Structure 1
């Protein structure tokens, strides 16, 4: 019975649970917009986000907007726990001379984010591959049956298709992501990086703007990744996908669906950071736990 209090008082426990809350909030709040983004990237004939939304509601029903959500939702707690904990470790490792009560430098924040993005790609690649294929299909087969089918016919290489482009997308994007969040929250509420006393509005705005900045920076790579992972076998690799897409549809294809992605990024990442920060403040720190034990 003593496990949970001790777990939540530890750094790993607090980061794990708070990261899980943030991830769940982000997935639930932004998944319909993510489905629209994927369908826009998939084909030039899809139309605008509003056209796709209206067609999906009329033909496939409201639940189609959440098709494939089980795959990212099932992994989101562990994924976000990894992201926030690895980021905390890496950002600190670049500023090892700083005392623990001082926030890491912006350089440490950016480099920690780059490393975090690269590491999390190992978990994210198969999850996004399943999500993309489920979002594009018209049937309602589940992620487990799809994963088994891919592994049976293509092996682990098939389930990890798109790993390289995911790393190329996520490493720099996460560096910009965490840097923007830390910079904006400090500008909106000076001193909050050290005191942690920013309000909910600051969390939402800083998180939302961090998401927008990172998505704008990596969006062309995300379009290529979506097309590589859709499973049609039309492309031989990253450069081949880029070349054929531009030849057939022009450079504008690399920005198709950006408006939907930006809207989703603001909502999702505002929710992620707000839920994460609020949850983190609800758990006792190791220091408080030790003080409580000493007073007994």
Structure 2
């Protein structure tokens, strides 16, 4: 009975809850564009518009949200852990900064790298299931593979733990440096837009949206080729093995389709990244202030 009041009374508890709310906002706001990204990465031709039109015509509008249950069910916990881990690591990597001051940019970057590497342990199986569902037509799925839970059980039965963690190595390669840039970009941009806000916490909603949006864009551009390789590796099943590892996937993809394949779907991803990460950081910051200020929120009206 006393768990939640005590949990929310702690700094880590409030970071956890705010991070979870931010992650939920991000998933809901950008999932259709994420589905288009996955389809673009795993096809050899077709524009985002043509794929969107075909999906809606053949599979219905609901196909844009196929597989959302998995990340939505886990994203609150995952994002909560990400922000809480980042808050701890950003200070641990540069303990010379007073706890009364915001973490240094060095601590922010290194904390982000560590957070990205750790979160891959949870994220890799979730993304594998999401990718498989996003790429499957309803008519092509067996009854045992319809829905995230049934698909996860099917993968476990046929491929075991190794199957659920297919693509784990490239997920770490994608997420560790990208998260370092992600958190550093957010902190740097919001401070430039609203000097002193890192310490005062008084930036506007516009500042949160813009800084979060550009941080998401920067991190995705920096890691996008790894994401393309990850999608192709995770889309494979035991009966359709085409690539034997990260390097083989990279070589075969470039040889067959040119270097442009490593950036296929980037436009859709950038649009989604700006929308989603603006929502994530805004929801996170607003929730955090609400929790720290006992239900009251104070923000500047302009940048």
TM-score interval, normalised by the smaller of the two chains? over 0.9
Match of 2:243 in 1: 235
Q: What is the DSSP-based 3-state SS (H/G/I as helix, E as strand, rest coil) of the residue aligned with 2:101?
A: coil
Matching residue of 1:198: 203
**C-alpha distance in 2 between matches for 1:221 and 1:60:** 29
Runs (4 or more) in structure 1 with deviation over 3 Å come to: none
CA distance in 1, matches of 2:65, 2:154: 21
Contact 1:17 1:81 in 2 (8 A): yes
In 2, Cα distance between the equivalents of 1:12 and 1:159?
Answer: 30
The number of aligned residues is 285
* TM-score with structure 1 setting the length: 0.94
State the alpha-carbon separation in 1 of the partners of residues 269 and 9 from structure 2: 36
What displacement does 1:281 show?
0.8
Partner of 2:25: 25
Q: Which runs of 5+ in 2 are unaligned?
A: 295-303
Aligned to 1:16: 16
User: What are structure 1's unaligned runs of at least 5 residues?
Assistant: 287-296
- The alignment yields a C-alpha RMSD, in angstroms, of 1.1
Q: Does 1:213 align with 2:218?
A: yes
Aligned residue among 164, 183, 200 for 2:169: 164
Under a length normalisation based on structure 2, what TM-score does the superposition of the two structures give? 0.92
The structural deviation recorded for 1:96 is 1.1
- Within 5 A, what are the aligned runs for 1:1-296? 1-45=1-45, 47-139=46-138, 141-231=146-236, 232-284=240-292
Distance 1:97 1:285, change over 3 A: farther
Q: Is the 8 A contact 1:223 1:254 kept in 2?
A: yes
Distance 2:80 2:272 in 1: 21
Instruction: Measure the CA separation in 1 of the matches of 2:2 and 2:148.
Output: 36
